Amino acid sequence: MQKQKNKQRGITLIVLVVTIIVLIILAGVSINMIVGENGIITQAQRAKEDTEIKRDEEKISLAIVESQIALHGTYDEIDEKELKKQLEIQFGYNAFSIVRNNDMSYTIKLLENQKEYDILTNGEIHQLDRIMHPTSVYAIIYSDGTLAFNTTGNVNQDKMNQGITVLYNTKNMENIGDISKTIFENENAIPWINYVEGIKYIDIEEPVAPYTTDFWFANCVNVKEINLDNLYTNNSSSMKGMFYKCINLEKIDLKHLNTDNVTDMYAMFLNCESLKEVDLSRINTENVLDFEWMFGRCYNLEQLNLFNFDTSKAEKTTAMFYDSKKLSEILVSDKWQINTETSTSMFTNCKTDHVTYI
């Protein structure tokens, strides 16, 4: 009888332990659902931020239209005085600051939420210093030559309805899946390397926020333009080889990327042989350690405006402009602290052998 009671107690104890373990697991799952990366609270915060940005952009857009009509009676160029007046109507007096940039665009900073927006000469609005919580990122290649990125790995149904097929999807590949945290050591390490020559278009289908963009577009030799509006890089630490060997890419606009946390820009534009224009006017490089080969072999690049480049932490600068045969002018500010005389092969085969301080 005593043995049976002991046995029952033992079974009861085991059941109790199992129950406690299950409850702990369920509690962990519940907590993650509430406060995790994709939890309820995080999603609510993201929704709030998105709503705030859309509200700001709507008000700015209305101010632009009203300023154009008030001054010209038509949708014409933007006048600073009239724009400021209309912005005051939308946001209130002393609720913002406005600066006219050298390229004739305007930068607006809202004092309430500290968000900044660029108004381009054509009236387009871009948010600056864009912040977004980290997301998953999946890469999909379609038979029409599109390399697409999104947060789910789900395919584009419009393409499917047109008879376009999926050639590759990281979501379906074992040991790959989400690439938001994947560090690709070189151009041959990207999972879609066997498809790159057939890629003609880059489509970042929705806002994505990775931890790294190493070699994302490397070897896309047939891509001529890339729209980065949906790429949020405030969490990214590396852009190594990001556009490596995009030999037909003629221009790229990076001024809206947040690079505050980036430490590696090694070979970022290496072998971009057709590149003529690259807007780096608002790129923050204060934490970058590696600039080696950054603009190497950009054969058609004639001028670089690196006025905003802060190189105070630079450790590697070898061949930064190597063999960029037409490069004749490199504009920098006093934030440029590289000793170009001791930096190996920095200007080899360039039209200039120095930077110009402005």
Look up residue 334 and give its amino acid.
Answer: D
pLDDT tens series, the chain, 358 aa: 555 555 565 667 777 777 888 888 777 666 655 655 556 776 677 677 778 888 998 999 999 888 888 776 555 667 888 899 999 999 998 999 998 876 678 888 898 888 888 887 777 787 765 667 889 999 999 999 999 999 999 999 999 999 999 999 999 998 899 999 999 999 999 999 999 999 999 999 998 999 999 999 999 999 999 999 899 999 999 999 999 999 999 999 887 788 999 999 999 999 999 999 998 987 899 999 999 999 999 999 999 999 989 999 999 999 999 999 999 999 999 999 987 777 899 999 999 999 999 8
pLDDT at 114: 81
Q: Locate the DSSP E strands across the chain.
A: 96-100, 106-110, 116-119, 125-128, 138-142, 146-150, 166-169, 201-204, 251-253, 277-279, 303-305, 329-332, 356-357
pLDDT at 190: 95
Residue 291's Cβ-count burial label (10 Å; 0-12, 13-18, 19+) is buried
In Å, how far from its chain's centre is CA 117? 16
Residue 222's Cβ-count burial label (10 Å; 0-12, 13-18, 19+) is middle
Residue 117's beta-bridge partner residues? 108, 127
pLDDT at 228: 92
Please tell me the pTM assigned to this model.
Answer: 0.74
* Residues contacting residue 55 through CB under 8 Å, at least 6 positions apart: none
CA distances from 329 to 306, 332, 335, 354 (A): 10, 10, 17, 8
pLDDT at 72: 65
pLDDT at 319: 96
To 5 degrees, how large is the angle CA 327–CA 221–CA 322?
25
Tokens of 325: 């045969």
Q: Give the start-to-end residue ranges of the domains of the chain.
A: 57-128
